[in-house]
Structure 1
Amino acid sequence: MEAQVGRKEEEEEEEEEMEVEPKTGVSFPAKLPDGKQLCATGLRRKKLLALGINIYAFGMYVDIDARFKELLKAKLGGAAEKPSKELYEAVIDGDVGVVVRLVIVFRALTMSMVRKNFGEGLSVSLKKLTGGQKNEELINKVMGEAKDGIKLPPGSVIEIARLPGHVLQAKVKDELVSKVESELLCRAYLHMYLGDDPFDKEAKERFGRTLVSSLSAP
């Protein structure tokens, strides 16, 4: 009986384990209910009238299982000592589950503002991946069912997930707003965080270091 109680307490402590994004103080669970692990936290900033505005904090989660490790090792030719371009490309291009949890920190943010910001970032990313082509129709499918009038006070959560089969799924405050099957869209989305000009370079580096460490773990 005591052993069962002890295990339950350990499980509760594990569930409550959090990591704080230092620039905003936003907390992220170290692990999602489906087992995906937090690999890095970061901050999305945007210039507005020459001022740097904090828009949202984010946490990037990956299912670091045996299949994922084998995918990375195959791409890298074995284990790695430090993050490399090939490592990030393996995640961007691979058909593996990744979740980016966004927690709003900017006050008076609306869904229309998020849609515009999201579209701008995706447009730039798509152009880099396609040699200058822009696909407005594809971009507009993301957040497709989210109403522009939705208010997103600080603490509101938007979750973007790449699901197996190259499906990009978006949830706003736990409500499913879009689910789009597109390998290019999935790559473009992760490219915003792990590409050559990421939203948060420090977050990208932490993400890479976490994956490198995982390759040497049993």
Structure 2
Amino acid sequence: MSSNTLSTTGNQDIKEIKIANIENEIHEESQCAETEMPVEVEKKTGVSFPIKLHDGRELKAIGVRRKNVFGFPFKIYSFGIYADNQKLAAVLKSKLVERQAKVTKEMYEMVIDNPVGITVKMVMVISNVPMSMVRKNLNDGIGVAIRKLGGGQNNELTKRIMGEAKDEIKLTHGSKIEVTCLPGYVLETKANGKVVNKLESELVCRAFVYLYLGEDPLDKEAKDKFGMSLVSMF
């Protein structure tokens, strides 16, 4: 298949955009635009996130992804959740006509069901993390979310999220992974600024946002802060 073309796999309504010529080494992302922007610091890890991305999406919440190993919680990455304010406000105001005093389950569900414009920027806080571990972590998490959203078991779909990122690549402290739901329900994944995959699937986009805003979020405080930003839009 040629570069940047869409293909349908099997009988699933899923299209995958192949990114050609993925290099073995992932290059560092240019920080010029971000270094000029004010930041918010995630206090548990000291990682800073620009309050706005170069495309105008604004930071709504920050948090930490932890993983239990032999009963001990380890910090894997810090994350910032960004959103397009105009798209977010349009989604909320399309169904809610009155000002909300506090965030509701319905409001979270509205964002999950309309995830276009959401970006999650992840910054590793441990070193020498193999890409295979990152891939498995995303696959497992999104796989559970897909089942909770009624999509059943779909291993073939979830393992495409990291695309052609090589398993032997190791992410160091400070390495970045950025996942964005683009128009058309295209989930774009970048590693250190380099696009490694684009997967067109409404279900995967919804499941990815569900990880952070669903019933059992990766960081409850981050979900609550995102919810406060929804209320403030009224």
Same fold (TM over 0.5): yes
Unaligned runs of 5+ residues in structure 1 are: 1-11
Q: SS in structure 2 opposite 1:188? A: helix
Name the structure 1 match of 2:186: 167
Q: CA deviation at 1:74?
A: 2.1
Of 110, 113, 116 in structure 2, the residue corresponding to residue 96 of structure 1 is: 116
From the superposition, tell whether residues 182 and 13 of structure 1 become closer, same or farther in structure 2 (CA, over 3 Å). Answer: closer
Name the structure 1 match of 2:100: 80
Name the structure 1 match of 2:43: 22
From the superposition, tell whether residues 130 and 156 of structure 1 become closer, same or farther in structure 2 (CA, over 3 Å). Answer: same
Name the structure 1 match of 2:141: 121
Q: CA deviation at 1:18?
A: 0.2
- Match of 2:211, as an amino acid? M
Q: CA deviation at 1:14?
A: 9.7
Q: SS in structure 2 opposite 1:34? A: coil
Distance 1:13 1:24 in 2: 19
Distance 1:163 1:107 in 2: 30
Distance 1:46 1:37 in 2: 27
Give the number of the structure whose residues are more often helix, by fraction. Answer: 1
Unaligned runs of 5+ residues in structure 2 are: 1-32
Name the structure 1 match of 2:70: 49
Of 51, 55, 59 in structure 2, the residue corresponding to residue 34 of structure 1 is: 55
* Alignment check: 8 A CA contact 1:101 1:159 kept: yes
Deviates more, 1:74-83 or 1:92-101: 74-83
- Match of 2:164, as an amino acid? E
- Match of 2:154, as an amino acid? N
Distance 1:103 1:163 in 2: 21
Q: CA deviation at 1:151?
A: 1.2
Distance 1:100 1:148 in 2: 22
Distance 2:90 2:182 in 1: 18
Q: CA deviation at 1:70?
A: 2.6
Distance 1:28 1:107 in 2: 19
- Match of 1:100, as an amino acid? V
Distance 1:32 1:115 in 2: 25
TM-score (norm 1): 0.88
Distance 2:169 2:227 in 1: 34
- Match of 1:209, as an amino acid? M
Distance 2:147 2:34 in 1: 44
TM-score (norm 2): 0.82
- Match of 1:99, as an amino acid? T
Distance 2:44 2:35 in 1: 24
* Aligned pairs (5 A) from 1:60-79: 60-65=81-86, 67-79=87-99
RMSD of the TM alignment (CA)?
A: 1.7
Q: CA deviation at 1:16?
A: 2.5
* Alignment check: 8 A CA contact 1:95 1:164 kept: no
Q: CA deviation at 1:117?
A: 0.8
Q: Does 1:134 align with 2:134?
A: no
Q: Does 1:203 align with 2:222?
A: yes
Name the structure 2 match of 1:5: none
Distance 1:187 1:62 in 2: 14
